[in-house]
Chain A
Amino acid sequence: GAVVSQHPSWVICKSGTSVKIECRSLDFQATTMFWYRQFPKQSLMLMATSNEGSKATYEQGVEKDKFLINHASLTLSTLTVTSAHPEDSSFYICSAREGRGRTDTQYFGPGTRLTVL
């Protein structure tokens, strides 16, 4: 199956710092990548849809100036959490949509666990 990597797998930072998370599709080109956030014992919540070469589409309630998304190539999307605060601590997961076969199948990266002190 399609492989998606995510880096870093975990990060601990001080309040006020910015954190960048990378999402890469390793063996396919992903025109669309998705960023989710999951709090403990809750469902995955879609934050934004990232399209290569264009601006990301953010879900209602997600601040685009706080969660900066860049999708500069067909295999890489980045999410930057700017001025992180403890309430931003969460499990951030990206997924990439594979364009072969069923075009709406999403494959997930291993996630990044962010802890803001």
Chain B
Amino acid sequence: RKEVEQDPGPFNVPEGATVAFNCTYSNSASQSFFWYRQDCRKEPKLLMSVYSSGNEDGRFTAQLNRASQYISLLIRDSKLSDSATYLCAVGAAASKLTFGTGTRLQVTL
């Protein structure tokens, strides 16, 4: 089983739709959780950290479920500019992050 797993997609959604991604992790000792956005042939950019209480940043909401060992990202009112690959990252010891393979989102008109 992979340490961090994501559905690769692609998720094709119309503009304005709400879309959600999940990411499961296998290491129960994981302590830090992040969502990154990666555009084609570019580096990942930090989208948001994921806290136990859940957190929201504008149209983006991230949640952590430790019992079931997954994190989620919800995007409301999707924009064309949201089209990208969304990577989840999970950290355990020594600040090392393990990345999922990413979920590709394509927002269409």
Residues of A within 8 A of B (CB): 1, 32, 34, 42-44, 46, 49, 91, 93, 97, 102-111, 113
Q: Is B99 an interface residue (CB 8 A)?
A: yes
* Interface range on chain B (Cβ under 8 Å from partner): 20 to 34
Set B42, B95, B102: member contacting A106, Cβ < 8 A: B95
Chain B residue nearest in CB terms to A32: B95
Residues of B within 8 A of A (CB): 31-32, 34, 41-46, 49, 87, 89, 91, 94-102
List 19 contacting pairs A-B, 8 Å CB cutoff, sorted by A: A43-B101, A43-B102, A44-B44, A44-B99, A49-B94, A49-B96, A91-B41, A102-B32, A104-B95, A104-B97, A105-B34, A105-B46, A106-B46, A106-B89, A106-B97, A107-B46, A108-B45, A110-B42, A113-B41
Interchain nearest-CB distance for A75 vs B (Å)? 18
- Chain B residues with Cβ under 8 A from A91's Cβ? 41
Set A93, A102, A104: member contacting B43, Cβ < 8 A: A93
- Chain A residues with Cβ under 8 A from B97's Cβ? 34, 46, 104, 106
- Chain A residues with Cβ under 8 A from B87's Cβ? 43-44
Chain A residue nearest in CB terms to B91: A104
- Chain A residues with Cβ under 8 A from B89's Cβ? 106
Interchain nearest-CB distance for A105 vs B (Å)? 7
- Chain A residues with Cβ under 8 A from B31's Cβ? 104
Contact A105/B96 with A42-B101, A43-B102, A110-B42 known, Cβ cut-off 8 Å: no
A103 and B41 alpha carbons, distance in the complex (Å): 27
- Chain A residues with Cβ under 8 A from B42's Cβ? 110-111
Q: Is the CB of B94 within 8 A of A43?
A: no
- Chain A residues with Cβ under 8 A from B99's Cβ? 43-44
**Most chain A beta carbons < 10 A, residue from B32, B89, B94, B97:** B97
Interchain nearest-CB distance for A48 vs B (Å)? 10
- What 19 new A-B contacts, CB under 8 Å, besides A106-B97, A108-B44? A32-B95, A43-B87, A43-B99, A43-B100, A43-B101, A43-B102, A44-B87, A46-B96, A49-B96, A91-B41, A103-B95, A104-B31, A105-B46, A106-B95, A107-B46, A108-B45, A110-B42, A110-B43, A111-B42
